[in-house]
């Protein structure tokens, strides 16, 4: 199943509830929440209180992307905000397997993100434990960047590895994803697409529907 996960980082925070509702009504399946700590990435975005507050606007799947150092310290706190999926960066965890166990022990789906320069081998011993892999298609930290083409080769290679191992895990892509490159991204093997600026700049309904139109081409095949 193909899912659009709009990143609220690109939304107008004075109209957050309205804008989330608009993208959900137009077909968005998840809501992507980018948490940045000013250490793992240069920016500081938002944390638990904001996620807890917007949990009241929608019952859609909350897909929380933790761009924070040593995320194991905060899994329980983010679990309490109403997160449905928590994704941590492999590069930010000293004991990645332990953090994945923490997420699952909290009753939440576990994702691991890889930066563009991190090889797929970083997932070797944990892949079977995961619900989702996030292949970053830009270096994390900022919205509005351009997709790095070689990251789609990683998506393709990961889909092949999963096939060989008989695994059916979601592959998410994040960074520079637009309706105009969505076809290519899905063909590479991704099924959860994060869109920030491509969803929230301009007409949110039309932008969301443009992704849905690409998805329907695949679903009607």
Ligand X SMILES: O=C(CO)[C@H](O)[C@H](O)COP(=O)(O)O
Minimum distance from CB of 220 to Co ion (Å)? 29
How many chain residues interact with Co ion (CB under 5 A)?
3
177 binds, among ligand X, Co ion, none (CB under 5 to 8 A by kind): ligand X
Using CB under 6 A as the binding rule, the residues of this chain from 72 to 131 that contact ligand X are none
Minimum distance from CB of 103 to ligand X (Å)? 18
Task: Find out whether 7 and 34 touch, Cβ atoms under 8 Å.
Answer: yes
Which CB sits closer to Co ion, 34 or 170? 34
Phi-psi region of 202 (alpha: psi -120 to 50; beta: other; left: phi over 0): left
| 194 forms part of the interface with ligand X (CB under 6 A) | yes
Task: Find out whether 143 and 104 touch, Cβ atoms under 8 Å.
Answer: no
Task: Find out whether 89 and 115 touch, Cβ atoms under 8 Å.
Answer: yes
| 32 forms part of the interface with ligand X (CB under 6 A) | yes
Using CB under 6 A as the binding rule, the residues of this chain from 145 to 184 that contact ligand X are 145, 174-177
128 has catalytic annotation = no
Q: 60 Cβ partners below 8 Å, 6+ apart?
A: 20, 24, 28, 29, 30, 31
10 binds, among ligand X, Co ion, none (CB under 5 to 8 A by kind): ligand X
């Amino acid at each position: 199943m193909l899912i659009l996960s709009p990143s609220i980082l690109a939304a107008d925070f004075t109209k957050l509830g309205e804008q989330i509702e608009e993208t959900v009504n137009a077909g968005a399946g998840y809501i992507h929440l980018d948490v940045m700590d000013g250490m793992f990435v240069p920016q500081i975005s938002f944390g638990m209180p904001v996620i807890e507050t917007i949990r009241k606007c929608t019952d859609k799947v909350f897909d929380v992307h933790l761009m924070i150092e040593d995320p194991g310290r905060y899994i329980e706190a983010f679990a309490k905000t109403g997160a449905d999926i928590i994704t941590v960066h492999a590069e930010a965890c000293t004991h990645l397997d332990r953090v994945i166990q923490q997420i699952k022990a909290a009753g939440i789906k576990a994702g691991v993100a890889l930066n563009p320069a991190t090889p797929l081998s970083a997932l070797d011993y944990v892949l079977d434990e995961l619900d989702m892999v996030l292949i970053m298609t830009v270096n994390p930290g900022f919205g509005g960047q351009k997709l790095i083409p070689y990251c789609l080769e990683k998506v393709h290679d990961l889909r092949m590895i999963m096939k060989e191992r008989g695994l059916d895990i979601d592959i998410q892509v994040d960074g520079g994803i637009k309706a105009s490159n969505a076809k290519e991204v899905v063909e590479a093997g991704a099924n959860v697409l994060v869109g920030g600026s491509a969803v929230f700049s301009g007409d949110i309904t039309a932008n969301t529907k443009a992704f849905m139109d690409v998805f329907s081409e695949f679903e009607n095949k």
